[in-house]
Amino acid sequence: MADQHDGTRCVHAGLPDPVPGEPFLPGPVFAAPYHLDPWQGPAATPNGYGRPDNPTRRLLEAAIGDLEGGDCRVFASGQAAITGLLLAVLRPGDTVLLPADGYFPVRAFASDTLERLGVRVAFVPTVGPYPSLEGVRLVLVETPANPGLDVVDVPALAARARAAGALLAVDNTTATPLGQRPLDLGADLVVASGTKALTGHSDLLLGYLASRSAELLDTVTAWRTTTGAIPSPFDAWLAHRSLATLDLRLARQTANAEALARLLADRPDVTGVRWPGLPDDPAYPVASAQLRRVPGVLSFDLGDADRVARFLDAARLVAAATSFGGLHTSADRRAQWGDDTAPGFVRLSCGVEDTVDLVADVTTALDAAGPGGAATAG
């Protein structure tokens, strides 16, 4: 499918060969044990027990693997995929570099768990500067970063990691595989939450890891089998069903994000607007060269928590919710979760509403919110 375009690839990714009388996407297989051959046991079939083996899950893995350009393993959540990677690959005495401005629970896990296990943890801003990578086992970056939306030059960092003998993993949650393919850019691994834009319907939790290294995949698969960090067959089926509209959803979300970013950048009562698609955004030079499309997520500052609350109360189309990438536009004041952002910092995730309606609603809500305190960039 490499010669086909994104929409076609999304619609057909991971589908089984057509068989007359069978559905396009077979329903979820709910099974813990399967019937075994009395003589050959599990060697006779790919399905023996539901934790390591499920055909519905394998179809989803084939679909995501096709989009990412590698082999895929899915997990119960994005956090399960990331922590699984870290625990499977790192050993006491290893050094890992993590994004200082990335997903806050990953940083908390590193400080609370990895360091207690004897792993040396260092935090680096997404845009660097990066220290020498000599002696580093793993570099994990999140690009575009969540929630600040900085972008790192993946090919340049991959070359440095390769020269130093380090592994490079890229969290591709915000961009999705239609926005960038880190394996093509030189990364060893891709890790992501499928809860967000990849599936986009706000109705399931999912994570995944992809790689072209059989050795790394075997290590992670063995860890997943042992710990049982698997999604349910129904969640796997829902995720595969949702992939077919990924290209369509992202197109509208990106268009909405561009319109809102331009609106917000022109308002004197909003500061710190970040969207990598704006030509004056600090991430634009790298993003414009590296991203195949800019995600539908942007951030800005309304000055204080009360003004954010007034804005959300006044909005009809912007829901107060965490996560991002869904069909419905939502906004999240990240400081309320303990994230180290300013009190008025907002991450806004554009849904698929009509652009003109969304722009009108945000404009009305900001006007109704009135003035806030001293706004600071997030």
- Cβ neighbors of 273 (< 8 A, separation 6 or more) are 261, 264, 265, 298, 299, 300
Q: Are 299 and 345 in contact (CB under 8 A)?
A: yes
> Which of 43-52, 58-67, 183-192, 304-313 bottoms out in mean pLDDT, i.e. has the lowest?
43-52
- Cβ neighbors of 187 (< 8 A, separation 6 or more) are 154, 158, 168, 169, 170
**Residue 2 pLDDT class (50, 70, 90 cuts):** low
Length of the chain: 378
Q: What are phi and psi of 233, to 5 degrees?
A: -55, -35
pLDDT at position 340? 82
- Cβ neighbors of 19 (< 8 A, separation 6 or more) are none
Average pLDDT, the chain: 95
Among candidate residues 33, 51, 47, the one with its CA nearest the CA of residue 227:
51
pLDDT at position 373? 59
Question: pLDDT tens digit string along 279-318?
Answer: 999 999 999 999 999 999 999 999 999 999 999 999 999 9
pLDDT average, residue stretch 8-31:
94
**How far, in Å, are 119, 134, 213 from residue 97 at the CA level?**
11, 12, 21
Please check the confidence at residue 338 and state whether its pLDDT lies above 90. no
pLDDT at position 50? 92
pLDDT average, residue stretch 351-378:
85
Please check the confidence at residue 104 and state whether its pLDDT lies above 90. no
**How far, in Å, are 73, 109, 309, 349 from residue 328 at the CA level?**
28, 30, 18, 8
Please check the confidence at residue 29 and state whether its pLDDT lies above 60. yes
Q: At 158, is the secondary structure helix, strand, or coil?
A: helix
Element housing 237 (H / E): helix 233-243
Which CATH architecture does the domain made up of 247-369 adopt? Alpha-Beta Complex (3.90)
pLDDT average, residue stretch 119-127:
97
Element housing 65 (H / E): helix 55-68
Please check the confidence at residue 250 and state whether its pLDDT lies above 80. yes
Q: Are 347 and 302 in contact (CB under 8 A)?
A: no
Which CATH architecture does the domain made up of 6-243 adopt? 3-Layer(aba) Sandwich (3.40)
pLDDT average, residue stretch 83-101:
97
Identical fold at 6-243 and 247-369?
no
Q: Domain-by-domain residue ranges, the chain?
A: 6-243, 247-369
DSSP result, 74-89: EESSHHHHHHHHHHHH
Residue with tokens 């993590």: 98
Q: Helix 355-369 to helix 246-265 angle, to the nearest 10 degrees?
A: 40
- DSSP letter, residue 17: P
* Beta-bridge mates of residue 275: none
Please check the confidence at residue 345 and state whether its pLDDT lies above 90. yes
**Residue 375 pLDDT class (50, 70, 90 cuts):** very low
Could you tell me whether strands 95-99 and 138-142 are parallel, antiparallel, or unpaired per DSSP bridges?
A: parallel
CA separation for the pair 325, 249 (Å, rounded): 9
Question: pLDDT tens digit string along 172-189?
Answer: 999 999 999 999 999 999
Q: What is the dihedral of CA 270, 366, 250, 76, to 10 degrees?
A: 90
Please check the confidence at residue 235 and state whether its pLDDT lies above 70. yes
**For the chain, what is the radius of gyration of the CA atoms?**
21
Could you tell me whether strands 138-142 and 189-193 are parallel, antiparallel, or unpaired per DSSP bridges?
A: unpaired
Of all residues in the chain, the percent with pLDDT exceeding 70 is 98
Please check the confidence at residue 374 and state whether its pLDDT lies above 50. no
CA separation for the pair 353, 241 (Å, rounded): 21
pLDDT average, residue stretch 99-128:
94
